[in-house]
Chains A and B, each alone.
Chain A
Amino acid sequence: MLSSKASCNSHGEDSSYFLGWQLYDNNPFHGVVNPTGIIQMGLAENQLSFDLVESWLRKNLDAMGLKKDGESVFREALFQDYHGLPAFKKELVEYMAKIRGNKVTFDPNNLVLAAGATSANETLIFCLVDPGQAILLPTPYYPGFNRDLKWRTGVEIVPVHCWSSNGFRITMSALEDAYQSAQTLNLKVKGVLITNPSNRLGTTMTREERSHLITFAIAKNIHIISDEVFAGTVFDSPGFISIMEAAMDRSLENENPGLWNRIHIVYSLSKDLGLPGFRVGMIYSNNETVVSAATRMSSFGLVSSQTQYLLSNMLANKKFTSKYMKENQKRLKRKKEMLVSGLRTSGMECLKSNAGLFCWVDMRHLLSSNTFEAETKLWKTILCEVGLNMTAGESCHCSEPGWLRVCFANKSQATVQIAMRRLRDFAER
């Protein structure tokens, strides 16, 4: 009666990742109203710097009010062009460059707007991969990729296994192994998708990893998709090196134009600016055909012109964006350190991280056995008895049991302290 897509569960929403959310929704923590409720530590949202954005908005009422110099620009704000508001794209590429320390510049004509990175990722896959083909993804990875990259596209994900023994870094042999697995399964590999900074680990890619990827992509003649949605959350050294910068450093445009045309970036304002509700995502590619196809596909998920207008004004204010970036990074660092030390007092170590809105926490010593069943049991205990919703490594396709992702940027200081206290009590037991 319905399509197979509607009746299957490839959307992946039956996984534990989403279950924790549901339980949280039924019993959410609130400092005053529900102090014993579940604290949401599974949500990678950046709520630390809203006051800065709100202060900008208060001083720039015209932008919200669809006005310019007091005159209504409502009609101009009503356009429906899948090329996007030119002023907005110009500001976006400048902002993207700024985040990358202005070591790369981006051309607004190579930028395609999409309704969030969710839409951008799916669209890129539709452009690069046919149904039944595969892309490689280093583990652990964002659980939402199962839906975003596979569900309606019919594409397969083959994991590139990473291990705690080397800090979960991508190795050449891991890439080769994944490629071999795909071949064994008769799956044509079209590309590798990395998230840099990593969503799970909170780390930025090393020079070595970048080098492996580029070498590998050249050898296998495949695409590199670099999901850089957390690029603006790098709060510590080493700094962030975008795949584009790595490509430029190796002069790929001249030395290997084939690969230059197979590198694509996904970005969004949801994590850096903390605006997930506004649905602002984008694809950046040097490949004209990809830009053209993705632009047409963006018809299925355009960004509201009202939102484009508001944000083009915000990003045009360079003083604001500089201040925001600096302050945001400071606050992220502080919160992360608070979480790390709090976890340490409960006997839990975190993977050393310099970015993201979360820590990757080692709870292997708390497992009753070195299995994913034990991990699930632990996760459930922490959810139901300790009242903390974290993300179990298994839902992120981690290859080793015992790692959990814990978010810190959506909580006030007080809430984090309460969470840490609960964990301490639990650990003592």
Chain B
Amino acid sequence: MGLLSRKATCNTHGQDSSYFLGWQEYEKNPYNEVNNPNGIIQMGLAENQLCLDLLEPWLMKNPDALGLKRDGISIFKELALFQDYNGFPAFKRALADFMGEIRGNKVSFDPNHVVLTAGATSANETLMFCLADQGDAFLLPTPYYPGFDRDLRWRTGVEIVPIHCTSSNGFKVTLPAIEQAYRQAQKRKLRVKGVLITNPSNPLGTTMARDELDLLINFIEDRQIHLISDEIYSGTVFTSPSFVSVMEVLKDRNLDQTQVWERVHIVYSLSKDLGLPGFRVGAIYSNDPVVVSAATKMSSFGLVSSQTQYLLSAMLLDKKFTKEYMSENHKRLQKQQKDLVSGLEKAGIRCLDSNAGLFCWVDMRHLLKSNTFEAEMELWQKIIYHVKINISPGSSCHCIEPGWFRVCFANMSESTLKLAIQRLKSFVSSIGMKSQSHQELKSLRRKARNNWVFRLSLQSFYDREQDTTTKVSFSYRPHFMSLSNIAATLDAAA
């Protein structure tokens, strides 16, 4: 009998992958404009740090919100004792309103259908527990947020079956791809309980088109399964096309009083839009009262601190502030994204056309030595060690085409972004100059490949942010150079 549970000793949490190397390296040598200008720049962290300067003055002007006062009177006791899993009513109302506004008020949300959870991480897991049993499956379009491997599967025992999307059509979801995934699940004897989409997409940074949403709704209607729409980036849509929530499509198609209405659930959070990941504010929205009821009870395992609920209810109720904030937020995101895209273009690197998110989906296929994930890993390691930038390789997001990388831009200043682009530009030109010594390099590598070692120790890989985890599937990479060998080889070739 194992001493601990299988869950504690397996690696379904996905944090064992060699990917976390990027994090480890960053932690050892983090870039700092003043103290460590040659350190590794963190571009693997999907955090929105562009508008903190707008939040701070609001806090100064609203001391009651932080000071847990109402009209100058302390309500500390009331809040300290408030642990009702139905949530602080004023906060749920404010949150429901805020969600409506993000969607241009084309849909409205009922606060009684909102379940508060400690972040979207908790919301997603809770929804799995409510909708699926151990051994059931959810279909997910690839590429997807690496953290889903943990959030949806680890403790729930639910499986993920990928819906493969490719660059041939801009990674859009197609009916053949969905059906193929469904068949795969059946082959694996898995009962499909639903589809989970992230809209806007992480890692693509694109919003789903209406026809994609129609396709999905038709599919789930037909198979009588659920659709979860993780819309945590809905407030980061900075340019057209504008955001269309699945709720809006359902309403437009007059499906709001039908059965399918109760099988569509939304996950939201304030971590990306408001840039407040530390406060752990997530939400499930569902029109199925049984789901709301079960999820509410389950939220006991991850309630939102009442101190935080109070602060944010005051903030979200200030409609003038939230409107200005969102508008400025979009402006800054757009600028930063444009800077990254044009900077990369000058280095001969293209990005998928995007209109949302805190990152770009970058095409580095032309920089690969071969069209393989091994080559992708090699390129990624070079970027960490030599270019000194941490980015997320597509394989960690289960992308089926090698060569794509997610590069975040919203967690740094303009100048840091410029520096990162500069480093990448230099790297790309140096690759060009080194194409002659490539042959020499190849034979050196062949020798080094015979010395596998390789297993990095388990460390805190979610140290900062869960967006960058990956479970690099070993079926893609049968061979793997040991780190010291890579470094030595690259040095030798330099």
Query: Residues of A with Cβ closer than 8 Å to B?
Result: 1-7, 11, 13, 45, 47, 50, 53-54, 57, 61, 64-66, 72, 74-75, 77-83, 115-116, 118-119, 122, 126-131, 147-148, 151-152, 154, 188, 190, 262, 270, 274-279, 287, 289-290, 292-297, 299-307, 310
Contacts and interface: CB of A to CB of B under 8 A. Distances in A.
B71 to A, nearest CB: 17
B250 interface: no
Interface stretch (B55-63, B169-177, B388-396, B418-426): B55-63
Given A77-B278, A82-B460, A277 B301 contact: no
Interface stretch (B102-110, B305-313, B441-449): B305-313
B118 A126 contact: no
A289 B9 contact: yes
A119 B290 contact: no
B80 A53 contact: yes
B400 interface: no
4 closest cross-chain pairs (CB), A and B = A305-B278, A277-B306, A301-B302, A304-B305
Nearest to B47: A80
Nearest to A307: B305
A7 B121 CA distance: 22
Interface in B7-59: 7-9, 13, 15, 47, 52, 55-56, 59
Contact of B294 (A5, A81, A277, A307): A5
B235 interface: no
Interface string B244-280: 0000000000000000000100000001000111111
B125 to A, nearest CB: 6
Given A301-B301, A306-B305, A296 B13 contact: yes
Contacts of A1: 224, 263
Contact of B118 (A274, A297, A300): A300
A152 B298 contact: yes
B399 interface: no
A128 B302 contact: no
Contacts of A275: 80
Interface residues of B, number: 79
Given A2-B291, A306-B279, 13 more contacts: A5-B133, A61-B67, A72-B59, A80-B278, A147-B297, A151-B298, A276-B81, A277-B305, A279-B303, A290-B8, A303-B280, A306-B307, A310-B307
Contacts, number: 221
A279 B305 contact: yes
B320 interface: no
Given A74-B55, A115-B118, A305 B279 contact: yes
B3 interface: yes
A354 B76 CA distance: 29
Given A128-B8, A304-B280, A306-B278, A2 B290 contact: yes
A339 B1 CA distance: 48
B305 A303 contact: yes
Query: From DSSP, what is the main secondary structure of chain B's interface residues?
Result: helix
Contact of A289 (B1, B4, B308): B4
12 contacts: A1-B224, A3-B130, A5-B130, A50-B80, A77-B278, A78-B277, A118-B300, A122-B301, A128-B4, A152-B129, A274-B81, A296-B15
B131 A2 contact: yes
Contacts of B452: none
Contact of A78 (B4, B132, B275, B303): B275
A276 B83 contact: yes
Contacts of A188: 1
Given A2-B131, A2-B290, A293-B8, A74 B463 contact: no
Interface string B61-73: 0010011100000
A65 B8 contact: no
B155 interface: yes
A50 B76 CA distance: 9
Contact of A130 (B5, B60, B74, B305): B5
A50 B77 CA distance: 7
A158 B71 CA distance: 51
B150 interface: yes
A296 B8 CA distance: 10
B280 A6 contact: no
B143 to A, nearest CB: 21
B77 A279 contact: no
B112 interface: no
B81 A277 contact: yes
B486 to A, nearest CB: 27
Contacts of A115: 118, 280, 301-303
Contact of B52 (A75, A130, A151, A306): A75
A154 B157 CA distance: 11
Given A126-B8, A130-B5, A306-B308, A295 B80 contact: no
Contact of B278 (A130, A154, A274, A304): A304
A80 B80 CA distance: 22
Contacts of A301: 118, 122, 301-302
A258 to B, nearest CB: 9
B6 interface: yes
A153 to B, nearest CB: 8
A129 B384 CA distance: 39
Nearest to A258: B3
B44 to A, nearest CB: 14
A295 B47 CA distance: 21
A57 B288 CA distance: 42
A305 B136 CA distance: 35
Nearest to A144: B300
